[in-house]
Structure 1
Amino acid sequence: MRFTRILHEQRPRWARIDDEVAHVLDASPIDAFAEGGDSGGARTPRVETTVPLASVHHLPPVVPPVFYAVGWNYRSHVAHGAALGDAKGVVPTRPEVGYRANNALTGHRSPIVVPDGVTGRFEAEGEVVAVIGRRLRRATREEVVDAIVGWTIGNDVSAREWQHADRTFWRSKNSDTFKPMGPWIETDVDPMTQKTTVRVDGEERASFATGDMIFDAADYLVEASRYITVNPGDVLWMGADTTCPIAVGQTVEIEISGIGTLTNPVVAETTPSPEGSPA
């Protein structure tokens, strides 16, 4: 099953995706999963209306209570980062989560906006994203696997000069629109057997086995839940094998087999004209 959030009649709504149509739902499928899951204890969201998929405005498929992200989770990325001065070249020995900001989220087909002042390397990274459907605290691996409601796609956009200049990732990775996510959540896929492909203007720039990770989602969530309560709707971005340069005027696609393709154009920031001046 595929479900997502769309803008319908000027309101964010949940929808179930079937082929080329979007069925607008009256409730959140993540809430239903959290409350009843496979036991049938929660009411299944009902379809209110159906619209053509091609006509919908895609929103991020979930707005997470907490936005978790991991880094350096592929050995080739560690080596590549070390060569560029982004990392020390040390392969992680334990699964540690980091955080990103919800304001950076944007949906499928929405623009990635390059802020004024960005220079140097501006890059995309294709990542598989775990979407949590049940509360986790001191969870076992089996409990974590059962708690993942589905998987979506993320594009971890980074302004590298800001990343190196600042003490934190506050703007280099968390500026508005720097975290496209979508187009939907796929509930019936094993991401560890899929392939991630990154294209820029239709040209393949990267391709790697999605599951060729140092640690998988269960590793991270078992460790995190020893200290942190993970809640329904939280997401965990799983890192990338490599980075791809992108620039204003280009379109970047992240495809993960079995899930779909996340597409976003790259545009320059436009500064509003002062009141009374020509637009």
Structure 2
Amino acid sequence: MRYARISVGGRAVWGRVGERDIEILSGSPLDAAGFDVIGTVPRARAHWLPPVVPPVFYAVGMNYPRHIAHAGAATPERPEVGYRANNALTGHLAPIVKPAAVTGRFEAEPELVAVIGRTLRHATREEAREAVFGWTVGNDVSARTWQHQDRSFWRSKNSDTFKPMGPWIETDVDALAQTTTLRVNGEQRSSFATGDMVFDPFDHITELTRHNTLYAGDVLWMGAETVCPLEPGDTVEIEISGIGVLTNPVHLEGNEQ
């Protein structure tokens, strides 16, 4: 099943995505109270929003051996996470806006995203697996000069539009058996086995819940094997087979239209 958030009449609603239409839902599929189908819209006319606005936005770094080797970093000895900001989220087909003040490397990172479906604390690995509601696609956009200048990622990874996510949440897929592909302007720039991680999502969820309570709607971005430069005028696509394709144009600040 595929669930999305779309804008209908200026209002954010949940939808169940079909091949041609999206069924508009009365509530969230993450809510145990359930929902009814209250209408439909053609999928081709959908205005896509980030498929979930998380209570907490967790992110994993340096989780693929090739990325670790490229960066000259040490392989992590245990699962660890960082945090990102909800203001950075944007949806499928929405522009990534490169700030005018950014110089140097401006890059995309294709990432698998786990969406948590229930409250979880002190989870076993099996409980962690059962707690994942579904999977979506993320693009961890980064301004590297800011990343190296600042003491935190507050602007290098958390500026507005730097975290495209979507287009929907896929609930029926073995995410770790898929392939992640990144294309810029239709040209393939990288492709890798999605599950080739040092620590998988369930390792991270198990470790996280020793210290933090996870809640329905929390997201966990799982890191990338590779990075790819972006420039204004580009269109970047991230596809995870079995889940979907996240597409975003890149605009320079002041030229968003």
User: What TM-score comes out, normalization by structure 2 length?
Assistant: 0.98
Residue 79 of structure 1 is matched in structure 2 by: 69
Measure, in 1, the Cα distance between the counterparts of 2:74 and 2:195.
Answer: 20
The alpha-carbon deviation at position 203 of structure 1 amounts to 0.2
Measure, in 2, the Cα distance between the counterparts of 1:117 and 1:78.
Answer: 28
How many percent of aligned residue pairs carry the same amino acid? 65
Query: 1:48 aligned to 38, 43, 56, which one?
Result: 38
Measure, in 2, the Cα distance between the counterparts of 1:267 and 1:109.
Answer: 12
3-state SS of the aligned residue for 1:163? helix
The alpha-carbon deviation at position 116 of structure 1 amounts to 1.7
Residue 120 of structure 1 is matched in structure 2 by: 104
Instruction: Give unpaired runs (5+ residues) of structure 1.
Output: 33-41, 83-88, 273-279
1:74 alignment partner AA = Y
Residue 186 of structure 2 is matched in structure 1 by: 202
* Residues 30-72 of structure 1 deviation map (CA, whole Å, 9 limit, x = unaligned): 113xxxxxxxxx43x2111111101010000000000000000
3-state SS of the aligned residue for 2:30? helix
Residue 80 of structure 2 is matched in structure 1 by: 96
3-state SS of the aligned residue for 2:54? coil
The alpha-carbon deviation at position 271 of structure 1 amounts to 8.3
Q: How many residues align?
A: 256
Residue 165 of structure 2 is matched in structure 1 by: 181
Residue 221 of structure 1 is matched in structure 2 by: 205
1:175 alignment partner AA = S
The alpha-carbon deviation at position 176 of structure 1 amounts to 0.2
Residue 3 of structure 2 is matched in structure 1 by: 3
Structure 1 segments of 4 or more deviating over 2 A? none
The alpha-carbon deviation at position 79 of structure 1 amounts to 1.1
The alpha-carbon deviation at position 104 of structure 1 amounts to 0.2
User: What TM-score comes out, normalization by structure 1 length?
Assistant: 0.90
Measure, in 2, the Cα distance between the counterparts of 1:5 and 1:193.
Answer: 26
Instruction: Give unpaired runs (5+ residues) of structure 2.
Output: none
Q: Equivalences for 1:141-156 in 2 at 5 Å?
A: 141-156=125-140
Measure, in 2, the Cα distance between the counterparts of 1:151 and 1:164.
Answer: 31
